[in-house]
Structure 1
Amino acid sequence: MEEIGIKSKLRVQKHGEVFTPKRIVKKMLDVQEIKEACESILTTFLEPSAGEGAFLVAILERKLNIVVKNYNDDLGRFENYSLLALTSLYGIELLEDNAQTCVLNMFQVYYDIYQEQVQYHNGKLKKKVLDSAKEIISSNIRQGNFLTKQSIDGNPLVFSEWSPIKMRKTTKRIKIQRTEYTLDEIYGNEEKESGKSINKAINKTIQPYKQLDLFDLLVEDDIDSENENPKEMRYTPVNIIDVYKAEMEEADG
């Protein structure tokens, strides 16, 4: 039965929204060069019009299958490398419902495959691994306009780069350094100090600036925007299973 590629004629007329059928997604991802990229857990993908995540979900499935095949001698190693694979997938989507669905679809794929490996290893699901998966997905999938490079509130689109620190073939516990870039900075190949955060005013009672978390759309933002002494912050290197903590410190100087 043929998949329906539209939600409504109005959405097609207003936003040009048409969804790619799964069979077409598979055919495109089976092109040799793309297929090889999907089988590399570090190869980065950016979907500028992510929709509900048809391509990103399919690529994630392929990457996680490679993790199961090559990095699954114990559950801890699977957890580390599966999160590393997750850090390589980015998306931008204009419409809120699509963006939220994309995030949830990606998390569901991660959860299902993680749960399978937990059962295989006779282990337990770890909340911090799932929370770190949520942090990575919600940081990598953004609601905004790819053409204007802006989020829905008019601010620049911001993405996180997740860089493994001194990782070798034998590494089992991956340490990661998070650095934030605007989409303009990414296109300009701008180099930054590792860990740099793009943030608004921060003091001891004010939390770091964070774009819309699509896992938590209903929570009101009650952060006080008034601060006469803003401080530059940077992300500290952490184990990849602890990125959900989003640990930061004051930047030097």
Structure 2
Amino acid sequence: MEEIGIKSKLRVQKHGEVFTPKKIVNKMLDIKGVKEACESLQTTFLEPAAGEGAFLVAILERKLNIVVKHYNDDLARFENYSLLALTSLYGIELLEDNAQTCVLNMFQAYYDIYQEQVQYHNGKLKKKVLDSAKEIISSNIRQGNFLTKKAIDGNPLVFSEWSSVNMKKTTKRIKIQRTEYTLDEIYESVEKESGKAINKVLNKNIEPYKQLDLFDLLEEGHIDSEDENPKEMRYTPVNIIDVYKAEMEEADG
């Protein structure tokens, strides 16, 4: 019988941390109903204790296999639909090393299949596609406590909803609208204006889940920490391969 892996007895005692073997993961994902959801590009999954991403990576691989099978007539279409599949996967992990490993594992899984399709189509890896994959993964995988709904810094956990705005059967280049929600807002089914960015509401000057680069402080025009009237911003709709730019505009009103 295959054992469930552990890193240390102390981590098991302190955090209840165990790792599910891949064989068991796949058996669970083959359950009727779950299997079909894994094969739907836009069906969302939230793993509240993501660990190193065993379930999320396995689901991503299944979704990407569907992209290869049905949306792979050319490389551009694969790129668009593979990123769409990536937007549907979310995770929360309490321990920093696990959260970092989860992000890396998801990116590696995406990179490997993307590289295979680049070779199949005799194309080239596009940096902006990989950068957009990183932006989606880093926004969807959060370090924090699912039970308290708080990030490691004490701020509310924040996730991005990625809504396609131009989807048809013949769509080749997907346009996406990003909207931010706290985990509490998601549970309360709060309806928001499309593109709403709550980072400016939670903290006037620093996004709660991104570290401020020290070089930013030297830039002319940097928002002073004493500014009591920061401009509220919203995300603009962009092509899905350009989400890495995180383009924003001043919100109306």
State the secondary structure of the residue aligned to 1:32.
coil
Residue 70 of structure 1: aligned partner? 70
Structure-1 separation of matches of 2:205 and 2:67: 35
Structure-1 separation of matches of 2:216 and 2:14: 33
User: Does the Cα contact within 8 Å between 2:157 and 2:183 map onto a contact in 1?
Assistant: yes
Between the aligned residues of both structures, percent identity stands at 85
State the secondary structure of the residue aligned to 2:24.
helix
State the secondary structure of the residue aligned to 2:50.
coil
Structure-1 separation of matches of 2:215 and 2:94: 21
| 1:51-72 per-position Cα deviation (integer Å, ceiling 9, x unaligned) | 0000000000000000000000
Shift in Å, 1:166: 2.3
Give the alignment of 1:139-218 within 5 angstroms. 139-200=139-200, 209=207, 211-212=209-210
The one-letter code of the counterpart of 1:155 is: N
Residues 1:94 and 1:115: Cα distance change in structure 2 (over 3 Å): same
User: Does the Cα contact within 8 Å between 1:201 and 1:230 map onto a contact in 2?
Assistant: no
Residue 220 of structure 2: aligned partner? none
Give the alignment of 1:38-57 within 5 angstroms. 38-57=38-57
| 1:130-176 per-position Cα deviation (integer Å, ceiling 9, x unaligned) | 00000000000000000000000000000000000021010000000
Structure-2 separation of matches of 1:64 and 1:153: 33
Ranges of 4+ aligned residues in structure 1 off by more than 4 Å: 218-224
Give the alignment of 1:215-226 within 5 angstroms. 225-226=225-226
Residues 1:83 and 1:13: Cα distance change in structure 2 (over 3 Å): same
Question: Which structure 2 segments of 5+ residues have no match?
Answer: 218-223
User: Does the Cα contact within 8 Å between 2:205 and 2:225 map onto a contact in 1?
Assistant: no
Stretch moving more, 145-154 or 221-230: 221-230
Q: How large is the Cα RMSD of the aligned pairs?
A: 2.0
Residue 237 of structure 1: aligned partner? 237
The one-letter code of the counterpart of 1:159 is: F
Give the alignment of 1:61-140 within 5 angstroms. 61-140=61-140
After TM superposition, the score normalised by the length of structure 1 is 0.92
Structure-1 separation of matches of 2:127 and 2:70: 24
Structure-1 separation of matches of 2:118 and 2:172: 17
Residue 35 of structure 2: aligned partner? 35
After TM superposition, the score normalised by the length of structure 2 is 0.92
The one-letter code of the counterpart of 2:196 is: K
The one-letter code of the counterpart of 2:179 is: T
The one-letter code of the counterpart of 1:249 is: E
Shift in Å, 1:4: 5.1
Shift in Å, 1:199: 1.9
Shift in Å, 1:221: 8.7
Shift in Å, 1:32: 1.5
User: Does the Cα contact within 8 Å between 2:155 and 2:208 map onto a contact in 1?
Assistant: no
User: Does the Cα contact within 8 Å between 1:236 and 1:248 map onto a contact in 2?
Assistant: yes
State the secondary structure of the residue aligned to 2:46.
strand
User: Does the Cα contact within 8 Å between 2:158 and 2:182 map onto a contact in 1?
Assistant: yes
Shift in Å, 1:212: 3.8
